[in-house]
Structure 1
Amino acid sequence: MAELPGIVVTGASGRMGQMLIRETVASDKARLVGVVERPGHDWIGRDVGEAMGGAPIGVIVSDDPAAAFRGAQAVLDFTAPAATVAFARMAAEAGAAHIIGTTGFEEADIAALAEPAKVIPIVRAGNMSLGVNLLVQLTRTVAAALDEDFDIEIVETHHNRKVDAPSGTALMLGEAAAEGRGVSLKEMSDSGRDGITGPRGRGRIGFAALRMGDVVGEHDVTFAAAGERITLRHVATDRAIFARGALKAALWAQNRAPGEYSMLDVLGL
């Protein structure tokens, strides 16, 4: 029987890191072979199961990602842009697929992933849930069907510890709306309204971000014209959906050709 794909999780102590670890350990299709934290973190050198408050699982937290990646088949990474770019290079050196749920990238960060993607499959998505990716498809379809008489507004809500805005998912939805309209999101995006802003520009794609409590993630895309509105909505109540999606992507990426992929590729959408 073939050995199950070995998975390494970065950012082990974070909310998503711990969820990724739990989902991988619980899976009968993959095995956890490594976990990584930043140098100096108090989890370094400890069994990750015990560090998470449970029973030992035989995997020690490392501060050496390059060593942890060697022998792994995939890296699950929901960290920060600079760390993710560095991890991509190390994953390429190790020959491990890189599954990226990190958000908040600048254009330069995204461009930096192109080189590692010549060597390994990289799956990157602002959101890895099935429902959200269906919402992306619906947003593109509705935007293509409606003209600029319909204003497009994207409102997202997350917990009060999220550091980037708009969310990666909101930007995915904005890109889908722009593609449907045949315009550039960079040119038509409208966010951070404050003060006397003047009337809303025709054809603009607006964003608003709410941060409160422990909200996992809520996204609304509204198309509004005189006398009518259409709202598409996704509500996440358990972040395990993102971890399950990432693990699905890691399994899908095995033996895949090098390149940059999205969850739409993974889900066959």
Structure 2
Amino acid sequence: MKVGLFGANGRMGRVLIEALDLSDDAELSVATVRDDSPWVGLNVGELAGIGKKEIDCSALSSLSGSDADVMIDFTLPSVIESNLSWCVENTMPVVIGTTGLNDEQLAALDEAAKHIPIVFAANYSVGVNLMLSLVRQAASVLGETADIEITEAHHRFKQDAPSGTAMAIGEAIADELGRDLKTCAVYGREGKEPERDQGTIGFATVRAGDIVGEHTALFADIGERLEITHKASSRLTFAKGAVHAAKWLYGKQPGLYSMVDVLNLKL
């Protein structure tokens, strides 16, 4: 199967090049960068640090619908709508790992999914998606009495906060408890505040160094607490998950899918 990349020069783009190089049944067929990027024409293997390969980075404007069977997009929210438009125009399935999307961009995602199959996930790690199932179980038992806090840590370059994965964890917990995360989330505490409202879900964010990704869901009651934690040590974990999703997506009907569908998890 031929897999194409949007944003090949990004942090995840480079790791996706490596993941596709390691795959036995999917191959990188095209790797795009912005038209004005200095990376246009650079060999993808040299870009990813894995030795010279047969493909060079190409300008986004030269991308053709015959270049790939599935595209993968781990770029930026600012270009997600134009990338989706191209995929719809070319009836191209796409795996999207871009986080930090606003309501308008999420609406564009929903609209595109009426025409093409899309896998959209905040995190493509198998462990994180299993964690989403585990936090639901914990919430169903402890959620009415425990205080719930979500902490996450990432590298200094990550722009959105809290992370998309932290928000997905919060959404899973809130959904299990019949709450609206938009009204019950607390994103920061400072100074003297009233006693904690047990119905809230708190978020705390760390940005430092080269932390790949750490997430913890804390359920704290009087006398005991439960912590469910996932730590990623390599972005290759996410890239391999995205490649797996691309292979799963090929041939599917239009619709918006998640890693729950890809991994056949029961939430």
Give the TM-score band, short-chain normalised. Answer: over 0.9
Aligned counterparts of 1:89 and 1:70: Cα–Cα separation in 2: 16
Aligned counterparts of 1:254 and 1:51: Cα–Cα separation in 2: 27
Aligned counterparts of 1:251 and 1:65: Cα–Cα separation in 2: 25
- Residue identity matched to 1:248: H
Paired residue for 2:84?
88
Paired residue for 2:172?
176
Q: 1:209 to 1:65 in 2, by over 3 A?
A: farther
Give the alignment partner of residue 102 of structure 1, picking from 72, 82, 98: 98
CA contact (8 A) 1:7 1:32 kept: yes
Does residue 1:36 correspond to 2:28, yes or no?
no
> What TM-score comes out, normalization by structure 1 length?
0.94
Amino-acid identity (%): 43
- Residue identity matched to 1:110: L
Q: Which runs of 5+ in 2 are unaligned?
A: none
CA RMSD between the two structures? 1.5
1:115-152: per-residue Cα shift (whole Å, max 9, x none)? 22112111010000110001000111111122432110
Tell me the CA shift for residue 54 of structure 1: 4.8
Does residue 1:232 correspond to 2:203, yes or no?
no
Q: Which runs of 5+ in 1 are unaligned?
A: none
Tell me the CA shift for residue 68 of structure 1: 4.4
CA contact (8 A) 1:157 1:219 kept: yes
- Residue identity matched to 2:117: P
Tell me, what secondary structure is at the counterpart of 2:37? coil
Give the alignment partner of residue 9 of structure 1, picking from 1, 5, 25: 5
Q: 1:242 to 1:68 in 2, by over 3 A?
A: farther
Aligned counterparts of 2:157 and 2:137: Cα–Cα separation in 1: 33
CA contact (8 A) 1:71 1:94 kept: no
Tell me, what secondary structure is at the counterpart of 1:241? helix
- Residue identity matched to 1:89: S
CA contact (8 A) 2:15 2:48 kept: no
Paired residue for 1:165?
161
Give the alignment partner of residue 253 of structure 2, picking from 252, 257, 264: 257
Greater shift in the superposed pair: 188-197 or 103-112: 188-197
Tell me, what secondary structure is at the counterpart of 2:71? strand
Tell me, what secondary structure is at the counterpart of 1:160? coil
Size of the aligned set, in residue pairs, is 265
Aligned counterparts of 2:147 and 2:62: Cα–Cα separation in 1: 47
CA contact (8 A) 1:72 1:94 kept: no
- Residue identity matched to 2:232: A
Does residue 1:193 correspond to 2:177, yes or no?
no
Does residue 1:76 correspond to 2:72, yes or no?
yes
